[in-house]
Amino acid sequence: MAALFWGFLSIGIIGFGGVLPWARRMVVEQRRWQSAAEFTDLLGLCQFLPGPNIINFAVALGGRFHGPRGAVAAVVGLISLPMLLVIGLGSLYAAYSAYPMVANGAAGLAAAASGLVLATALKIAAPLAGQWLGIAVAVVVIGAIAWLRLPLVATLAVLVPISILLHRWRA
């Protein structure tokens, strides 16, 4: 349980601005708590649930290994230091946001965060390599949400059952 706390504490502080890339690295590559496919499956479930994906993931992974106490340890580790940093940085930003250098810095951080999200999306999609049905479903979901701007819940409510049926039919 201590490993869950310290592991999620490290990704909470290192992954400031976007912890998903760091969570995947710690869980899959460093600690080997899950395979890449297991990570993708659990993250998919956590993205379907309401609330922040990474918090859902911490609860699910912590609960898997140590029950409710593991879930609490993982979440507290994940949010404690970043919460303090956000409060401090938010205060500083409120005081100095009118300065052009601060505004430009925020724009640069947003670009870097976008790059991290894209890189992580590619890593998470890696287990789909060669699985054309899964790739097709992912493309349809991306198209429906990103390009057609359909509501997330409605899109998932329709496409998740279709995806499950297609994968069962193929198996």
Q: pLDDT in tens for each of the 171 residues of the chain?
A: 889 899 988 888 887 657 888 899 999 999 999 999 999 999 989 988 888 899 999 999 999 999 999 999 999 999 998 889 889 988 998 899 889 998 898 889 888 888 888 888 888 888 888 889 888 998 999 999 999 999 988 998 999 999 999 988 887
Q: Any idea where the domains of the chain sit in the sequence?
A: 2-129, 130-171
Is the whole model's pTM more than 0.75, yes or no?
A: no
How many angstroms separate the CA atoms of 124 and 7, rounded?
20
How many angstroms separate the CA atoms of 115 and 160, rounded?
27
